Structures are given as structure tokens and as C-alpha cells.
Amino acid sequence: MEQSQKKVVFSAIQPSGTITLGNYLGAIKNWQVMQEEFDCVYALADLHTITVRQEPAQMRKNIIDAYASILACGIDPEKSVFFIQSHVPAHAQLAWVLSCYTQFGELSRMTQFKDKSVKHAENINAGLFTYPSLMAADILLYQADLVPVGQDQQQHLELTRNIATRFNGLYSDTFTVPEGYYPKAGARVMSLQNPENKMSKSDTNINGCVHLLDSTDVIIKKFKRAVTDSEAIVRRAEGKDGINNLMNIYSAVTGLSDEQIENEFAGKGYGDFKLAVGEAVAENLRPIREKYEALIKDKAYLEESYKAAAVAASLRCRKTLQKVMKKVGFVF
């Protein structure tokens, strides 16, 4: 097999619900661009998903839906390896080892852990706490150079870099220390209803979150209801969280700069702007939705794709896992 000189990219997304506009603009859109230039490995992080209690039948549906949605976004199995994390046991194996090289204090500082502990106070399980060690294993298994993620994952990525550096220091060079890769526009898409919070799959206010598979009508309605402010001038400024968010989204889907957007809507009200953003987003997502509708009917193709990808991913990470086990002192 040709082992290319291209940089290795790794990223993953949890199949914890239907994919959102935030996931698309903050992550998947970049995945698609990067596969043209880099050696890309992408995963559905289903092991991470059970850190929050899931209903089994719904979880199975979410995994297949997310797999088909991401293919529909243009992730091409001929260009990238796109697999399901639980199909490659090396992830759980390396995660255990790395959890012994991750400090309690480091994990305690993770804001995602703190946030999710508040949100799921009835189930603050050990997996939720050691989540970043599994994420580090995902990335380090493939010797990734670049990890495209939204800004909310920056802290986990820094921890991954610390774990890799620590391990390399103890046992000589073993892991590539990865760099985060953050998209400019769309890095942090906020809720349309509470623009100080990020748009999230698990948002309880359905109007706050645009899903990848929402119909054109639903998308436009959600944007029409987006929370703004009382100034009625389309411009980026501190304290205008709602408008800033809409400008980010509009810029991410149209490629326009802030200045161009401000000029386009000079003298117009928020109603016009919200409609324009809704229409632009709906138009952007329409081909994805159409492709998804076709893919989700073809279960045989989906199964064939994720099975082949699991074999490819397993082969790629075998050497790194072996190297780690040997260095630590396990007997072969």
C-alpha cells in the first residue's frame, strides 16, 4: 500500500443526535475540504457517546443516520478512511493505557466535563471524566499531524498534546504531537435562541438548533425566529451576540466578508437579514439532504463502507498500539 507523504488528519464526531449546522460548519465542511489535500482518517466516536446515557434503539439509528449524513456531506470513502470507532478495538485499548498517563488534576480542569456534569448531574460516570484520554487515543493511534475541530475541543486537544509529549519524554519518540486546526468562519456557531451558548445537538429548545436534515421551510422559520437585539443595524459589535452569530453563519455559507454583509444590508431591517441567512443556509444544505435521502435507503452500501473502513483503520493503527504496549513493558 502506498504510504503517502501527505500530512495525516484525524477527526471524529459523536453520533449523539442529528447533526447540526454547528457540526457541519465547525467540523464536517472542513473534513471535506481537507480530504482533497491530506491523508484523512475520520471516525464516528460512538464509544464517547455512551458517556451520556443512550436508548439502545435510538443510538443504533443515530449512528447509521450520522454515517449516512457525513457521507452525504461529501466525505468520500475512496479518499478518506471514515469508520465507526467501536469497530476498531485499538481505540479502547490505547485509551486505557493513556488514562494511566493522564492526571486527575488535568481531567478535573476540562470545561466540557464540568458542563456535562451539571447537565447530567444524575450520571457523572468515570467515562465522562476520562473522555479526553479516549480522544487522545483516537488521535495518537493514527500519528495525526492535524486535527480539525471546533474551538470547544481546543482544551481536549491541548491535553492530547500534553499526553503525547509526556509519553514521548518517558519512552522516546512514539507519537506525533498533533496540531489543532480551527476553521475561521463557523468555528463557533451559537444557538439561534441563546446566542451566548453554542449550537448543540442536545439543545432542548428546538428553535435554537438547525439540523442538517431540516427542510427548507423549517430552516427559514428557525432563522426568522432567531434572537437579535433592538438596534436594528446589521453590523458586528460587542453585545450583539445574535447578529454576530448570524453574520458568522452567513459568512460561512456565502464566503462574504463582514464588510460585504454590512453593505448588503445597510438600511434594511433584521427581517430581511434573517430571511437571507435562512435562505442561504437552506440552499447550502439542500443537496446534502437529497444525497442523504438516497444513501439512507441503501443499507447494504452503508454497511459495506463502514466495514471496509474498519479494516483499513485497524490496519493503520496496529503498529502504533504494538509500539506503545512494548515500550510500556507488556510481554509479547
- 226-258 burial, b if ≥16 CB within 10 A, otherwise e? bbbeeeebbeeeeebbbbbbbbbbbbbbbebeb
Q: Which does 135 bind (CB under 5 to 8 A by kind): ligand LTN, ligand ATP, none?
A: ligand LTN
Min separation Cβ 161 and ligand ATP, Å: 16
Question: Of 136 and 220, which CB lies nearer to ligand LTN in the complex structure?
Answer: 136
For residue 323, what is its C-alpha cell? 509500539
CA 324 to chain centre: 27
**Which residue stretch of 184-192, 214-222, 243-251, 322-330 sits at the interface with ligand ATP (rule: CB under 6 A)?**
184-192
Min separation Cβ 81 and ligand ATP, Å: 17
**Which residue stretch of 145-153, 188-196, 278-286, 294-302 sits at the interface with ligand LTN (rule: CB under 6 A)?**
145-153
Q: Which does 23 bind (CB under 5 to 8 A by kind): ligand LTN, ligand ATP, none?
A: ligand ATP
Cα 29 to Cα 255: distance, rounded to the nearest angstrom? 13
Written as one string, the DSSP assignment of 32-68 is HHHTTTSEEEEEE-HHHHTTS---HHHHHHHHHHHHH
What distance separates the 2 farthest-apart alpha carbons in the chain? 73
**Which residue stretch of 21-29, 128-136, 257-265, 284-292 sits at the interface with ligand ATP (rule: CB under 6 A)?**
21-29
Cα 130 to Cα 50: distance, rounded to the nearest angstrom? 12
Q: Is 201 a catalytic residue?
A: yes
Min separation Cβ 329 and ligand ATP, Å: 35
Strand partners, 272: none
User: Which spans of this chain sit near ligand LTN (rule: CB under 6 A)?
Assistant: 10-14, 45, 48, 135, 138-139, 147, 149, 153, 156
